[in-house]
Amino acid sequence: MHRIFHIVLLWMLVPPLLFAATPVPVEGRQGVVASASALASEVGVSIMKQGGNAIDAAVAVGFALAVTYPSAGNLGGGGFMVIHTQAGDQVALDFREVAPLSAHRTMYLDDQGNVTRDSVKSHKSSGVPGSVAGLLDALEKYGKLKRHEVIQPAIDLAQKGFVIPAHLAAQFEKQLESMAAYPASMETFSRNGVPYVAGDLWKQPDLTKTLQRIADQGKEGFYQGETAQLIVDEMARGNGQITLEDLAQYQAKWREPVSGTYRGYQVTSMPPPSSGGVLILEMLNMLAPYPVAELGWNSAELVHLMVEAERRAYADRAVHLGDPDFYAVPVETLISPEYAKQRFSNFDSGKATDSDAVGAGRIPAESPETTHYSVMDAKGNAVAVTTTLNWGYGNKIVVSGAGFLLNNEMDDFAAKPGVPNSYGLLGSEANAIQPRKRMLSSMSPTIVSQAGRPLLVTGSPGGSTIITTTLQVILNIIDHKMSLNDAVGLPRFHHQWKPNQIFYEPYALSPDTLKQLKQKQHQGLTVSKRLIGDANSVLFRDGVLQGVNDPRNQGGTAVY
């Protein structure tokens, strides 16, 4: 009762800007899609109405987001997908970008050995894109519809255009200064240098042609032929490193997902080269012996417990995680309950651990560089997809003649082991640059199941905060028994190893909680300058499919 009163009181106090528009979950019985774009979500539902399943819908949403949500939806980036099929199979698809064949471990160091900005602000910052291969592989293996059927809605949106909403027009205008050196970017995101305004019709003719080639030719329509040549020509203009050989050799990879149990629920998530699934399971294992529900949502005792689990897990991330095709990642050890017990053996309920005794790191600022969407259908198919260009709008470079943005994912490697990347995350030899290697990620597409049936599909953007956002949504559903909109909408906090700093959204931590955390010697308690995460999620409850968008960002949920 105390916890319920706390939540009700919180909702009475929180700023209207964040929570007044928190949507009640949209409900349906045949299918549900929650994404960062209302147009893309409607595309997914339209595909299910045509007889497609959740995988068909997820692929259609992915291509639509490349048109309607260009800051993170993409053809020129990559991502991860976790699928639960109606037959009960659980699979993970890795379509992360890879380093070009000419990449080498010192490529972003100057003559003095210092890290340059080439890893984020140049043609050399781009890894070989994986999104097109990943989406088409998922469709081929688990979809029911034809390729042209699931891509056609994206083609229509690009060709006929759509009305630019106010938030997207504002984003475009903000990006123009960074895009000024790239004519194709200016042509795509402005009218001859004049910013678009809300209400303008935005058509993308070059992107239309690229999507049509993919619909007609499949992966060859992107990784070979005209589109591939346009990418290589763009590389030549800026001393980039992606070649025709790089593109022709790219392959998405099916991987065994990481999976574990928490209070009788099965939690399935993405394995390396994503760090998200491993860390979520490691932290859940650390929390499992403790009465999370009884401690109370965001009480000082629970926040202390969660921060201590996060501190240890993020320290493990920097040392142990990388591309498993190049480094022996000890996944089974890291996600085992026995390891969690050992790792948490020095937990002190009354005192914060000194992070100097664990390791060193830095807290990043979050940016909307990534997007997550969730799909579920009535037959028990469920899909969690997180995709990205790294920074919002990637490296700001549109491929001339092809109409899509390039990623700057090479920054996610450890350009120099021991030196933080642009999100403050440290890496080691496990994440050093090598040709054809996949860079480490925090993306955490996750499916929670009960008795073999998908219950919750969730995930988030947000750099290193992806993992803690996803963890909190899971705890809110399983331990705190919240409604979906509360589980997604209530304020969050984040900690990631060192320094002893807890970032929290307004009203996430009460004055009494803050006082008690300080008494436990937690340091650096800071109100976050940015909202944490964007966890578009879907839930199956009482025979009904529910979907909700995170109120922290624009988006849309559609049901069938």
- Which of 22, 36, 24 minimizes the C-alpha distance to 65? 36
For residue 210, indicate whether it is catalytic.
no
- Which of 451, 458, 443 minimizes the C-alpha distance to 376? 458
198/229 Cα distance (integer angstroms):
34
- Which of 8, 153, 151, 84 minimizes the C-alpha distance to 458? 84
- Count of residues making up the chain: 560
Tell me how far apart the terminal alpha carbons of the chain are, to the nearest angstrom: 35
Burial of 411 (C-beta count, 10 Å sphere; 0-12/13-18/19+):
buried
Rg of the chain, C-alpha, whole Å: 22
DSSP-derived secondary structure for 445-478? -EEEEETTEEEEEE---STTHHHHHHHHHHHHHH
Looking at 22, 208, 227, 370, which residue is catalytic?
370
Tokens of 160: 């006929």
Residue 312 makes CB contacts below 8 A (sequence gap 6+) with: 282, 286, 343, 344, 353, 358
The answer to whether 371 and 387 are in contact (CB under 8 A) is: yes
Tokens of 376: 């579920």
By annotation, the residues acting in catalysis are: 370
